[in-house]
Structure 1
Amino acid sequence: MPMYTQDNATYYRQMYEWHMKMHHYQEQLRGFHLERAKYFQGLVEEREKAATKSNDGPAA
């Protein structure tokens, strides 16, 4: 499992990747890991959208 870091974007991506790997190993935990992977994927996408919006800024 990835260690928590203050860089949330990196942590979210690492957690997504870890859960995607883990769902293959233990069939009984597959659903849990898939749900958690979806959750962290949503956080990654949300963060990327926020970064894009803040970089665009208002049109002058």
Structure 2
Amino acid sequence: MYLGGARTGKTYRIPTAYHKLLTRAFRKEWGYDKKGLPNPQQRLEIMLTVYSQYPIPQLIGINP
């Protein structure tokens, strides 16, 4: 939702500390100082960058 994703999008339960890592990584890529939301291409690039560093365990077959 931070980058303009759907409120009804798929969600996963992850540990709080991991969530904080992801949040910091997203903010590093698209900080609060930027005006507006990224366009769809920028959003995809940001997601690929962040999730390549911090994959969601359920998406790679691991149940946390």
Scaled by the length of structure 2, the TM-score of the pair is 0.29
Structure (1/2) with the larger helix percentage: 1
Task: Give the TM-score normalised by structure 1.
Answer: 0.30
Q: Which of 1 and 2 has greater Rg?
A: 1
